[in-house]
Amino acid sequence: MTGIFSIGLTGINAAQYGLLTTSHNITNANTDGYNRQAISQATNIALPTGAGFVGQGTHVQTVQRMYNQFLSQQVMQAQTSANEYNTYYKQVSQVDNLLGDSSAGLSSALQGFSSGVQQLASKPGNSTVLSTMVASAQTLASRFQTMENQLNQLYQGTNQQITDTVNKINSYATQIAKLNESITMAQASTNQPPNDLLDQRDQLISQLNQEVRVTTVTQSDGSLSVLIGSGQQLVVGQQVNQLTTQPSQDDPTRMAVALQTGNVSQELPESLLSGGNLGGFLSFRSGALDDARNTLGQLAASVALTFNAQQALGQDLHGNVAGDTGFASQLFQISDPKVIRNSTSSNTAVLSASFQAPQYSNGNFSTQLTSSDYELQFGAGGAYTVVRLSDNSQVASGTVSGTPPTNVTFDGVQLSITTAGLNGDRFTIQPTKEVSRNFAVNSAVIGDPSLVAAAAPIRASAALTNTGDATITQGSVGTGYTLPATPLTLSYTNTPTSGLTGFPVGSTISVTDASGNTTTSTIAATTDVVAFGSGNTITINGPTVNAVSFSVSGTPKAGDQFTLQKNTAGVSDGRNANLMGMLQTQQTMTGSGNGGGLTTFQDAYGALVARVGTTTNQVKVMGDAQSAQLAAAQASQQSVSGVNLDEEAANLIKYQYMYQASAKMLQVGSTIFDTILSIGR
C-alpha cells in the first residue's frame, strides 16, 4: 500500500512546485529582466516486478529558466547600438541648432562685416562709416567668441558626462562581481541554477551594455567575465578592474577613459570604446564637436590673417603705412597655434608655433590652414616627423641640426624648434581649436577707427603734357613692398626700341600679359628699356622700390611720362578697403571635403553647417533603425522568456487539478488501507 501513497506524494510535491513557480511568474510579470520559469519533471525509477516495471511517480528535476542566449545576444547588440546613436543625436543636434541658427550663427555676422567693408570702400574718409565698419568687425569677433564659448561648454559638458558614465559602469561592474560570488556559492551548494540571481546579473549586464558595448564569457563555476573594447577585462569572477577618467596624455583639457588594473592606469584609445552612452559621447566629441570647433577656428584664423595682410598693404587716414610709427598693421588679433607636450614625454624639447603669412597670388590672399590637429614625434638624433591626424598623413619630417632654431612649415603652420626632444617625445599641435575664443579686433583700431588702412600707399599718374592717349592705373603694392623715396618718373621711348625707361638700377622688372605669360629683366642702367604692351602688368622688385605694380593702357608717344609716388593726402582713397571687400568673395582658405581646394569664408562655413546637418540626420536615421531593430529583438526574446498571464492562469488550473488528483490518490489509498484493516477484525 505504500506505493500509492508515495506516488500520490510525488504528484503533490510536483504540483506544489508547479504552483509555486507559476505564482512566482505571475508576481514578476512586470519585473525588468525577469525570465519566465517552468518546472522540469521526470518519472521516478520504476519498480521491477514479475508482472513488469511498476511506476513510482514523478519528481521535479529543476526549475528551468526560459532563457535563449542567442535572442538575448541580439537584444544586447541592438540595445548598445541604439543607445550610442541616440546619445550622439542628442548631442550633435545641439551643434546643428547652434550653427544653423540664422540669428546666432556666423553667416549674418560675416555678411554684416562684409557690408561694413563695402560701405567703407565707397566712403573711405567718412568717420561714421569708419566707426560702423569697426563696429561690424567687433560684432563678428563677438560672434566667433560666443559660438566658441557655447561649443566649449558642450565640450566640458561632454567631459563630465563621460565621467558620470564611467562611474555608472564601475557601479554595475561591482554589482556584477558580487552577484558572481553569490551565484557561484549557490550553484556549488545545490548544483542547481539560482534563476533569480542569474536574472539579476543579466539585468545588470544589460544596463552595463547600455553604457558601453560588452561581451561576456561564462566560466565553469557559473561566473561571468565581462570584457570591453578589444578584450579588456572589466570583471573576472569576483574581481573588478575599474575604469577611470583622467586628463588625456595628449591634451589635458580632454577627459580620457583609462582601465585601472591594480595600481596601473592604462589610457584606452577612444576607438576601442564603442557602443552605449559612452561610445556616443566619445564619437560625438571626436567627430562633430571637434570638427565644429576646429573649422570655426580655421575660419577665424583665415579671416584674421587675410584681413591683416591686406591691412598691412594699406594707408590709414593719417597717411601712415607699414613701418610708420602709429600704423596699425593688424586689424584683428588672434592667438598662436597651441602646442601641447604629451604627459609621458620629457621636458627636453623647446619649441613654439605660429601661423605662416597668407600666400599672395594675383592680388588674392589665401591661407593653407586645415581643420586638423597634428602630432609631432621626435626620433633618435633629433629626427622628427609631423603627422596630420585627420588622415594620418605625414606632412613634414627632418632632423633638428645646425644653428637653432629649426623652422618646420606645413599646412600654414610654422614650428620653431630650438631644442630637439628625446626619442619618443610627442607633442600635439592644435592650430585652430581655440582661435575663435581669442579672436578680437585690434584695441588700437577700436579706439581710433581712422587707423583702418582704407587707402593704398602708392599712386600713379600720367603727365598732363603727354601727347599720347595712354593711361596708367593707380598702382598697387604687394607683401614686403617698398615705396619710392621720391617720385619715380618713367618715360616712354621708341628709340632704339619702344618701351619704358627710368626704372631703378638693380631692380627686377616682371611684365605679365593678358594671357598670364611673364617675362623678367634686370635693370643695369636707368636708360634700359622695358618692352611696352598695352594693358600688361608691370611689377618692380628691387632694393629701393619693391613689390609695386601698375599697368599702362593705350598708345603712348615718345616723351610721355608716368609718375609713381607715395599716396600723400589720400583721405578719399578707398582702394585698399575695396581689396578688403573682395576678400569676402575670393577663395581665401582651404576647404574641407573638397580635396583641399580653396574656398570662400561663407562657403567654408556653409560646408561646416551642411556636414553637421548631414551627420545629425544620418545619426537620427541610424538611431531610429536600431531602435526598431531593438524592439523586434525584444519582442522575439519576450516570446520565449516573457511571462504570458493567460498561459500562467491556465497553468494554475492545471497544477491545481494535479494537486487535487494526487491528493485523491492519498484518499483512495487510505480507504483501501482502512478496508484491509477492517477485514482483519
- Among 517, 534, 566, the domain boundary falls at 566
For residue 464 the three cell numbers come to: 598732363
pLDDT tens per residue across span 531-571 = 999 999 999 999 999 999 999 999 999 999 999 999 987 78
- Among 566, 591, 607, the domain boundary falls at 566
145-148, long-range: CB < 8 A, 24+ apart: 145/436, 145/437, 145/439, 145/440, 146/104, 147/98, 147/99, 147/104, 147/105, 147/106, 147/296, 147/436, 148/293, 148/296, 148/297, 148/434, 148/436, 148/437
Whether the Cβ atoms of residue 485 and residue 323 lie closer than 8 Å to each other: no
Res 675: pLDDT: 81
Mean pLDDT (whole number) for 31-52: 90
- Structurally, the chain folds into a number of domains equal to 2
Residue 48 within a domain: yes
- Of the two residues 5 and 604, the one the predictor is more confident about is 604
Alpha carbon distance 612, 600 (integer Å):
18
Alpha carbon distance 120, 576 (integer Å):
10
Looking at the fold, whether 560 and 657 belong to one and the same domain comes out as no
| Residue 594 pLDDT > 50 | no
Whether the Cβ atoms of residue 571 and residue 455 lie closer than 8 Å to each other: yes
Burial of 183-206, coded b for 16+ CB within 10 Å and e otherwise, reads: bbebbeeeeebbbbbbbbbbbbbb
Average predicted confidence (pLDDT) for the chain: 92
pTM for the model stands at: 0.89
Mean pLDDT (whole number) for 135-149: 96
Mean pLDDT (whole number) for 20-38: 92
Res 592: pLDDT: 67
**Domain residue limits at 515:** 458-566
Residue 359 within a domain: no
- Among 566, 593, 616, the domain boundary falls at 566
Residue 155 within a domain: no
Res 681: pLDDT: 60
**What is the chain's length?**
681
| Residue 172 pLDDT > 80 | yes
Residue 398 within a domain: no
Residue 512 within a domain: yes
Name the one residue in this structure whose C-alpha cell is 592705373: 473
Res 673: pLDDT: 76
DSSP letters, 200-257, are HHHHHHHHHHHHS-EEEEE-TTS-EEEEETTTEEEEETTEE--EEEEE-SS-TTSEEE
**CB neighbours (10 Å) of residue 613?**
16
φ, ψ for residue 362, nearest 5 deg: 55, 40
Amino acid at 672: I
Residues facing 60 on adjacent strands: 41
Residue 390 within a domain: no
Name the one residue in this structure whose C-alpha cell is 636707368: 526
Res 680: pLDDT: 61
Residue 479 within a domain: yes
Residue 297 within a domain: no
Res 49: pLDDT: 85
